[in-house]
Amino acid sequence: MYVFINLFNDNFILNELSIILLNFQCIADTIIYLEESGVILGKSLKLV
């Protein structure tokens, strides 16, 4: 029983970490996308 609980806890921690990493990846992608969009917008408005 203890081993089962321990495995469950390890999987829970791994799932939490993967969710955090996925969210971080989404945020990073969004920032990169916004930066690229900002540069394009800046060029079209002759700001850059």
Domain ranges of the chain: 2-36
Q: Residue count of the chain, please give it.
A: 48
pLDDT in tens, 4-39: 556 566 777 778 888 888 888 888 898 888 888 888
Record the pTM: 0.52
Residues 6+ away with beta carbon under 8 Å from 39: 48
Q: Mark out the alpha helices in 1-48 (DSSP H runs).
A: 2-44
Question: What CA–CA distance (Å, rounded) separates 29 from 8?
Answer: 31
User: Looking at residue 1, what is its pLDDT?
Assistant: 47
* Residue 6 contacts residue 14 (beta carbons within 8 Å): no
